Amino acid sequence: MADVLDADEVAAESPEGWSHDADADEIARTFEFDSYLAGVGFASAAGGLAEEAFHHPTITVEWREVEVRLTTHDAGGVTTKDIDLAERLNGIAD
């Protein structure tokens, strides 16, 4: 099991655009799109990456926005698994 990162490590290692929600002990980012369907497409691709990594974020799709929240539940907080998936999600959003 991956080790939980402390708040300083999360701040230092979080990819661009991601913030640490210390109360929920997760990292989050809201991605913006030109249309609802573009956001749905991103959410589908994000789901595919998450399944590959066997790491399942909370994904909320709204009009032109998709919020992704990551934490490693079995570790009890943010780990390198979350940081790695966040980086991959940034890559498909560009």
Q: 45-78: per-residue pLDDT in tens? A: 999 999 999 999 999 999 999 999 999 999 999 9
Q: Where does 7-93 sit in CATH, by number?
A: 3.30.1360.20
26 dihedral zone (left: phi>0; alpha: psi -120 to 50; beta): beta
Size of the chain in residues: 94
Residue 94 has pLDDT above 90, yes or no: no
pLDDT averaged over the chain?
Answer: 95
Q: How confident is the model at residue 1 (pLDDT cuts 50, 70, 90)?
A: low
Q: How confident is the model at residue 80 (pLDDT cuts 50, 70, 90)?
A: very high
Whole-prediction pTM: 0.93
